[in-house]
């Protein structure tokens, strides 16, 4: 059985078999759909069904029941059950084409016991990317590791925040011993997580752990901009010692329009005077009505799932929730 899939905005069409994903069918027909992980974990391939029905062999992690009920689907997992008309999220953003580059370690030091601050030097004027995007480090055995850029594009230097995995071949063994000048090959820029300037809504940014990195790059790109909407940043960490960017973030207060920073700790000691618990709970506690906000989520899949569910319950529109999910 095969069905016709029509893309509303572009008029492009392709044929999808009942046993292949919409993404596989689109790629076979050379129709581009945004995607990253291809296993239902990141949400990048989210589309909206204008008409028709899809099914899943297994309901994907990066889709909430609320999203499915509103007609959203994940193209990498959804299989057509009828002819479909879909819309693909549009943004004014144009993303540079990814390419492979030789990079060298410019600086490497520790933010905390388990978070490394890595600065790479890139040749020929550096890397053109949109704040929010990420790179893949290509390892000699063909594997890759992904890290979001944590700074705005500048002359040849790019910052990353790398969580060390104890015993991990790359983050612990290689990076743990790397010195300035060490060479590595990267593929970048990748991903579609980015600021949607066209939304014109107050921003709520929610990060856990090193999910702060792409959020930092986005917010740095908004510093001193007169048309920046009000921003509230929630950052979930375990302890006070984990808040490695606290001073730098506090320094944005005079440079972002109406900036509010809310660190939320899940394992703070008795001396902590600030917010406690899960970061998504703090957002929900602070807002009865999120129907006029744009929300950016960056962190572990479980946080993003829970946050989407909870914030949709506060009226947040799924059209204005943008997520970057990573493990
Ligand atoms: Fe489909 Fe990641 S590409 S969820």
Crossing angle for the helix pair 279-286 and 301-312, to the nearest 10 degrees: 20
pLDDT at 91 exceeding the cut of 70 = no
Pocket of ligand 1 contains residue 190 by CB under 6 Å: no
Ligand 1 centroid to residue 50 C-alpha, Å: 19
Which residue has a Cα nearest atom 4 of ligand 1? 40
262-272 pLDDT tens trace: 999 999 999 99
102-116 pLDDT tens trace: 999 999 999 999 999
Lookup: tokens for 95? 């993303």
Selected residue with higher pLDDT from 301 and 177: 301
313-324 pLDDT tens trace: 999 998 899 999
Q: In a 3-state reduction of DSSP, which class is residue 121?
A: strand
Q: What is the pTM of this model?
A: 0.90
The answer to whether the beta carbons of residues 144 and 151 sit under 8 Å apart is: no
Angle at 66 between CA 209 and CA 72, to 5 degrees: 95
Pocket of ligand 1 contains residue 45 by CB under 6 Å: yes
Q: Phi, psi at residue 2, to the nearest 5°?
A: -135, 145
How does the average pLDDT of the chain come out, rounded?
92
Q: How far apart are the C-alpha atoms of 220 and 129, rounded to whole Å?
A: 14
Q: Is the ipTM of this complex over 0.95?
A: yes
Q: What is the DSSP string of 72-96?
A: EEETTT-EESS-EEEE----S--PP
Ligand 1 centroid to residue 37 C-alpha, Å: 5
Distance of CA 19 to the CA centre of its chain: 29
Ligand 1 centroid to residue 172 C-alpha, Å: 28
């Amino acid at each position: 059985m095969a069905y016709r899939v029509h893309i509303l905005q572009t008029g492009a069409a392709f044929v999808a078999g009942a046993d292949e994903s919409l993404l596989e069918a689109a790629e076979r027909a050379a129709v581009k759909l945004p995607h990253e992980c291809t296993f239902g974990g990141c949400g990048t391939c989210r589309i909206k069904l204008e008409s028709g029905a899809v099914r899943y062999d297994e309901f994907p992690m990066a889709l909430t029941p609320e999203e499915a009920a509103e007609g959203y689907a994940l193209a990498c997992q959804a299989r057509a059950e009828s002819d479909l008309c879909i819309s693909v999220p549009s943004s004014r953003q144009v993303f540079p084409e990814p390419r492979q580059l030789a990079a060298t370690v410019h600086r490497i030091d520790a933010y905390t016991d388990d978070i490394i601050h890595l600065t790479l030097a890139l040749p020929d004027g550096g890397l053109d990317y949109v704040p929010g995007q990420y790179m893949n480090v290509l390892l000699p055995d063909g594997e890759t590791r992904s890290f979001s850029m944590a700074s705005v594009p500048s002359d040849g230097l790019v910052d990353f925040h790398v969580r060390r995995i104890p015993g991990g071949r790359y983050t612990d063994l290689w990076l743990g011993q790397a010195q300035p000048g060490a060479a590595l090959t990267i593929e970048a820029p990748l991903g579609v997580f980015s600021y949607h300037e066209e939304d014109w809504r107050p921003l709520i940014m929610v990060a856990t752990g090193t999910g702060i990195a792409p959020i930092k790059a986005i917010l740095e790109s908004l510093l001193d901009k007169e048309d920046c909407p009000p921003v509230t940043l929630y950052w979930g960490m375990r302890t006070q010692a984990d808040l490695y960017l606290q001073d730098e973030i506090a320094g944005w207060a005079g440079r972002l329009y109406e900036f509010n920073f809310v660190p939320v700790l899940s394992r703070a000691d008795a001396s902590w005077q600030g917010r406690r618990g899960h970061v998504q709970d703090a957002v929900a506690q602070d807002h009865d009505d999120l129907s006029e906000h744009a929300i950016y989520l960056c962190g572990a899949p479980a946080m993003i799932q829970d946050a989407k569910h909870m914030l949709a319950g506060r009226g947040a529109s799924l059209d204005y929730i943008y997520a970057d999910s990573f493990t």
